[in-house]
Amino acid sequence: MAKAVKKQALGRGLSALLKDPENDIKAAGDKGADKVVGNIVELELANIEVNPFQPRSSFNEDALKELASSIRELGVIQPITVRKIEFGKYQLVSGERRFRASKLVGLETVPAYIRIANDQESLEMALVENIQREDLDPIEIALSYERLIEEINLTQEQMSERVGKNRSTIANYLRLLKLDPIIQTGMRDGFLSMGHGRALINIENTSDQLDIYEKIIQDSLSVRATEALVKNYKEGKKSGKATPIKTKVPEFIQEGKKEFASYFGAKVDIKVASKGNGKLIISFSSEEDFKRLKKLISGAE
């Protein structure tokens, strides 16, 4: 704990320098900038805003709580990175998980590196650093690559140099964005790996693509099994003998589905795998409807 306190105490003198309006640092060439830029400075969390260019759109709550617990015990080991946007105001470039976890713990300040950059540089720094260091899902990485191409005007070759990835690897990520949005969501939720996604890209027909996606989920197919399924489908398509890829739903499940729907007064979907296991999905339309279903399931009056 003593080490964490010492680490978070870094830059308190520099923090005072930043609070002096008469010596406001706006550019790297300003007086005192060399003492701040590149050094760890203690900044108040209230003066930091989230970066609108952050590629990560969702954060695992359990993982965030674990990080918060670690910060409570050890402090913020790795400083966040911010850019100065106006006097006393900063914007996150990277480290949003640490920023959020620090707020959960109730910290008032956080150690930070300060950079002076325009919006384009900030976007590139955020995207490149997240691609390299954060545990983004394949679709988030693909979206980050796409933004680097469209908003920073980088070629795949230039991006390869920036992020240290082969051009073919970048191209494979970008191809994932051609998948149906439902399948992309499945990848973001962890139901599919990038390997599954790469196999599905080879199916041009969206309807058949979704049919195979459902079979992957229902039968818990491995990447290799998925690749074999796609190969058989494509060979059948060429020979004119391709058939829809559907998992036959047993009659007892069809009957049970109607009974569930009638009991809950809601749309019910049942997915069954070839091994006999499956999922029961009950739809709800609002918070009130969810609470109604909860009472029915728990038997509460």
Is 126 part of any domain? no
* Rounded Cα distance, 37 and 46, in Å: 20
Beta-carbon contacts of residue 199 (< 8 Å; ≥ 6 apart): 223, 226, 227, 230
Is 27 part of any domain? yes
Instruction: Report DSSP state, residue 116.
Output: -
194 and 290 part of one domain: no
For the annotated catalytic residues, the residue numbers are 96
* Rounded Cα distance, 55 and 138, in Å: 12
64 and 36 part of one domain: yes
11 and 67 part of one domain: yes
243-270 as b/e: b if 16+ CB within 10 A: eebeeeeeeeeeeebeebbeebebebeb
Choose the final residue of a domain: 195, 219, 239: 239
Is 294 part of any domain? yes
Domain hosting residue 155, numbered range:
137-175
Beta-carbon contacts of residue 20 (< 8 Å; ≥ 6 apart): none
Q: Give the chain's domain count.
A: 4
Choose the final residue of a domain: 117, 145, 163: 117
Is 273 part of any domain? yes
Task: Spell out the per-residue pLDDT of the chain, length 301, in tens.
Answer: 333 333 444 555 666 666 666 666 666 667 766 666 667 888 899 999 987 766 666 677 888 888 888 888 878 877 888 888 888 888 888 788 899 999 999 999 999 888 775 566 766 777 777 777 657 788 888 888 887 887 677 888 888 888 888 899 999 999 999 998 888 888 888 889 999 999 999 998 888 888 898 888 888 889 999 999 999 888 876 655 545 555 556 677 777 777 887 787 877 777 666 556 667 788 777 778 788 888 888 765 5
Is 128 part of any domain? no
7 and 93 part of one domain: yes
Instruction: Report DSSP state, residue 134.
Output: S
Q: What is the pTM of this model?
A: 0.49
